[in-house]
Structure 1
Amino acid sequence: MYAVIKTGGKQYRVAAGDKLKVEKLAGEVGSEITLDKVLLVSDGDNTTIGSPLVQGASVQAKVVAHGRGDKVLIFKMRRRKHYRKTQGHRQSFTEIQIEKIAAK
């Protein structure tokens, strides 16, 4: 059984037992969270596609860790004008483990 969920402006295909890194979510490490924005649920034979969400479907997940990704460097330069600007960015993420997928 798998589902397609939406969180942090992105869509993920998940199944029970999967670990994935998503945009930062509120919740302590070890706590259970419920993801209600389920776009599709499939159990092999039956596939339910929402319009836009599947009614009554939810995904239970456990927060494994919070962290920050690798640094991305932004470099701006104007030639012949002695303008150089360097900036860095590290995106925060939450690592979750999918516990179960519930569909009505």
Structure 2
Amino acid sequence: MAIPLKNLMHEKIKEMNSLTDVELYKAMTKDGTIIPEDRFNKLLLDLEILGLIKVAWITKEARRIEIVTIKEEIDIVDEQNQEVMEKDYEASFPGFEK
């Protein structure tokens, strides 16, 4: 079963973290994946719409492609609730002293 081009491209961007469109195209070609320019641009657009990458023009001819990292927010209230639940659970055992 063949891996979709979108996944291959995303993995290549993840490896390099930040690169230009020309560097990405050369890296994909070097790995044996030859993509027509219009398909390449469509894949970049799809990945950007999905929120997986960020594309920005750095010159008239070159684009910077960066991987989007999602930071997980830690909810303080949830964290406190988890600690209370753990303490209550531990305290439910007979003979438990802390």
Query: TM-score category by the smaller chain?
Result: under 0.3
Give the structure, 1 or 2, with the largest relative contact order (CA under 8 Å, sep 6 or more): 1
The answer to which structure has the higher helix fraction is 2
The answer to which structure has the higher strand fraction is 1
Q: TM-score, normalised by structure 2?
A: 0.25
Q: TM-score, normalised by structure 1?
A: 0.25
